[in-house]
Amino acid sequence: MRPAFLRRVALVVSVVVVVAAMVTAQGPAGPAAAGGRGGGRGGRGIPVQGGEECPPGTTLVRVGRCQAPEVSPPSIVDYRPESTLVADEHPTPKAKFPVVDIHSHAGPTPDTIDRLIREMDAMNIRVLNNLSGGSSGALKEKVDFIQSTNYADRFTVFANGLDRFSNVEAGYGVRAAAQLEEDVRNGAIGLKIFKQTGMDTLKKDGTRLKITDPELWPIWDTAGRLDIPVIIHTGEPPEFFQEPDMHNERWLELALFPNRRQYLNETTWETLAAERDALFQQHPRTRFISAHFGWHANDFGTAGALLDANPNVTLELAAILYDLGRQPRAAHDFFVKYQDRILFGKDTYAPAEFPYYWRVLETTDEYFDYYRNYHAYWKLYGMDLPDAVLRKIYHENAVRITPGLPQSGW
């Protein structure tokens, strides 16, 4: 016989042996073997000790016993069960009070401004703040266009720093501080620090630019003197810094987006968070907004400690709704306690997604869908915040912290 034929025969025999072993381990199929309704009886499946995890491909069916499905399970992207829960629903297309979206990356153009105003009015968004304002001539062009329209009080911009903090060397801080002053004169109402700064932006000498680098101090001091806030995006969610194994709840997102795989980054989440906290401490006269809740919406103890230690810091809730909505009672209590220290922000401008925020913040609804499965495979619940707290989060805190926002007409 030919060697190739013999190898195929051997492969078939091996597969048959493996399948037979699996069937033997699980016992005979069918209702009788399963011990009647409910299954998992009669010694079927794979025994495990208390606290031991089920082997891959199996799930716990009884205490101390795991079992594999008799049919091929769907993939994580194809399994979309429809809930049979009958519960009150209160879709919330419009925020209860006027909103400042402090964390957007959208701004008007001659082609989009009328559409944006219609959408914002429908959602009760009074001001859309574009964090991607740029600097120098690009920023001035954005502001000049806004001021030339009938909606000059509906759109604002933050500056982004000289050359987006690239190639920092001696003297950069002084030049960047001067650029910030110019940008504020040209209409910027704050400064945005993107996540790359501090995480993987390199200085001119090839070393990582730490957010605490003394060369940057003139920028922070200038922001304090000009009475403008600095919104800082630090790193990524801590799960992005962990291996994407079967226990990482952000596995699907990491599988979808290569640029979010920070576990390949030499700098750890703990290092970035510590450097950020040190920055807040070093510059108590500068107001900082920690974007994305500082990535602490999954840990209110740490979020509260951050606020307690730094009176100059506020949080904003862009892109962390999935954490608030799965712990509504704890989130409610945190928002009430720190009601003067939280701002509304969304990040991606998508009119179809804002109503999920209003529904979580305003209602008592239970067990409803989140808008992106790769962010969260779990359901959301309403926090039922008091009106006084909603007003502060939606606009009052932002107006107080950011003097460049409209100060009247709310």
User: Tens digit of pLDDT for each residue in 172-213?
Assistant: 999 999 999 999 999 999 999 999 999 999 999 999 999 999
Cβ–Cβ under 8 Å, residues 352 and 408: no
The pLDDT assigned to 44 comes to 80
Cβ–Cβ under 8 Å, residues 26 and 45: yes
Q: How far apart are CA 139 and CA 188, in angstroms?
A: 8
Q: What is the mean pLDDT of residues 326-348?
A: 98
Higher pLDDT, 138 or 36: 138
Q: Give the count of beta carbons closer than 10 Å to the beta carbon of residue 54.
A: 16
Task: Look at residues 25, 102, 14, 11 and name the one whose alpha carbon lies nearest to residue 57.
Answer: 25
Whether this model's pTM surpasses 0.85: yes
Q: Specify the amino acid at residue 115.
A: R
Let me know how many helices (H) and strands (E) the chain has, helices first. Answer: 15, 11
Cβ–Cβ under 8 Å, residues 384 and 325: no
Residue 314 host element (H or E)? strand 313-316
Residue 365 confidence class, pLDDT cut points 50, 70, 90: very high
Question: Is the Cα dihedral 204, 205, 207, 212 positive or negative?
Answer: negative
Q: How far apart are CA 55 and CA 66, in angstroms?
A: 8
| Digit-coded pLDDT (tens) for 140-162 | 999 999 999 999 999 999 999 99
**Contacts for 381 with CB less than 8 Å, ≥ 6 apart:** 325, 326, 328, 360, 365, 366, 367, 368
Q: How buried is residue 257: exposed, middle or buried, by Cβ count under 10 Å (0-12/13-18/19+)?
A: exposed
The pLDDT assigned to 50 comes to 87
Which spans in 299-353 are helix H?
300-309, 321-324, 328-337
Q: Specify the amino acid at residue 25.
A: A
Q: List the 65-67 sheet strands across, edge first.
A: 46-47, 65-67, 59-62
CATH 3.20.20.140, applies to 99-401: yes
